[in-house]
Structure 1
Amino acid sequence: MSKAKSILFGILAGTVAGGAAALLSAPSSGKDLRGQIKDSKTRMLDTINQLKEESIALKEQVAQAAKDSAEVIKEVSGELQTSLKEFQEEIEPHRENLQKEIEAIEEKIKQLEDTLKK
């Protein structure tokens, strides 16, 4: 928001400086000059209002995007947890079989060592 304020302040300062320069170096009559200043003021106010509306719309879009991304993250997180749980359930029987086979191999190695020692 401070950037927007800086931009608005810059526009305002530029308009004032331009107006002052126009007054000092104007080859036009006072009536024409007042009309030009009025037109400049109207354009400046229109620009400021447009910037304000666009910044409000951008703020709303950012808030909606943050809300949507939070929902997506929750959904993906839940799906990952479910997938991980299913994976663990799927591999559990295989893990137990592998553990039993490893224990059997260790027992055979121990028996072989005992046989070799005799």
Structure 2
Amino acid sequence: MKASTFFIGLTTGVIGGVVTVLLSTPQSGKDFRSSLQVTKEDYQNKLADIKDQMQNIKGSIDDIKHEAKQTIPKFVEDTKESIASWQTETSPIQDNLQQEIASLQNTVEEIEKHLSEFQNRKRGKNT
């Protein structure tokens, strides 16, 4: 909600309230003016409080934006560095694992080959 819309609504409400009070008050003119003055001061104080709170909120938002602009790029850079470091550290391990996998595949192929030869010889003897 925009602040101007809020203040227009607030002003409209205050004016409507004042008109309603003027038309329905059983007080004398002097008492009513005094009451109206107190009400006016209350609304002015409330309006000043709202304005202060809006300024505080705006300041907080500005602080958060400023901190985010400083923190997020540093976090991204640190994350990139961590990933690069991890890749550098794990690259030799990955190479070793790939070599071991290739070695295991060769061993399995040799076992399959020997098993096939064994089965063929066994069949040759049985016939």
Alignment pair present for 1:93 and 2:92: yes
Residues of 1 paired with 2:56 and 2:13: CA distance? 26
Find the counterpart in structure 1 of residue 73 from structure 2.
74
Residue 23 of structure 1 is matched in structure 2 by 22
Identity %: 24
Residues 3-28 of structure 1 deviation map (CA, whole Å, 9 limit, x = unaligned): x3333223322222222222222222
**TM-score in terms of structure 1 length:** 0.75
* Alignment gaps of 5+ in structure 2: 118-127
Give the counterpart letter for 1:51 in structure 2.
Answer: I
What's the counterpart of residue 45 of structure 2? 46
**Could you say what the CA RMSD is over the residues aligned between the two structures, in angstroms?**
2.5
Deviation at 1:95, TM superposition (A): 1.7
Where 1:27 maps in the other structure, the secondary structure is coil
Which deviations, in whole Å up to 9, do the C-alpha atoms of 1:19-78 show, x marking residues without a partner? 222222222221221121122112112211211111111011012112223322222212
Question: Higher relative CO (CA 8 A, sep ≥ 6), structure 1 or 2?
Answer: 1
Letter in 2 for 1:37: L
**More moved, 106-115 vs 69-78:** 106-115
Q: Number of aligned pairs? A: 117
Q: Which has the larger radius of gyration?
A: 2
TM-score (norm 2): 0.71
In 2, Cα distance between the equivalents of 1:109 and 1:34? 102
* Alpha-carbon separation, structure 2, partners of 1:15 and 1:105: 85
